[in-house]
Amino acid sequence: MSNVWTGLRPRAIETLVMDEDTFRAFYDRTARSVWSYLARITGDRSLADDLLQESYYRFLRAERAFDSESHRRNYLFRIATNLAHDRHRRGRHAVQRAGARRERAWRALSTDPISPPNRATHRSGEGHVDAQAS
């Protein structure tokens, strides 16, 4: 297997991977604005903390080359935006699933002759109102 990086110039290879000092400097320049953006679009400071951490993790994992600082920054914001949208969609689907479960449970209760909505009108075999209705 040949090394795919052999055809690159030395400067291009350096831009592929950030060393620790370069990353720390980039983090110091961008973390506050990315966090503010995430907090604003999610409305949740704690979620913004989680998404900020995940954004930088995915940014580092991508190991992409960037032509400039602005490209690097734009890519980080794109990751953050996608994570926030994914979290929103996941949350919305969870609420929809919970709502569907509640709806099925309510329908099951409303068809049950001794369920709470029907309990007051339910008569036991002896012809009196169920004691739990009072």
Quick one: pLDDT at residue 29? 96
For 5-22, how does the pLDDT look when each residue is reduced to its tens digit (9 = 90+)? 444 444 444 444 678 899
- For residue 52, count other CB atoms closer than 10 A to its CB: 23
Quick one: pLDDT at residue 117? 55
- The string of DSSP codes covering 35-101 is HHHHHHHHS-HHHHHHHHHHHHHHHHHH----SSHHHHHHHHHHHHHHHHHHHHHHHHHHHHHHHHH
Single pTM value for the model: 0.58
Quick one: pLDDT at residue 53? 96
Cβ atoms of 37 and 77 within 8 Å: the answer is yes
For 85-134, how does the pLDDT look when each residue is reduced to its tens digit (9 = 90+)? 999 888 765 555 666 676 776 676 666 555 555 555 555 555 555 555 44
Domains of the chain, each with CATH number or no CATH: 10-110 (1.10.1740.10)
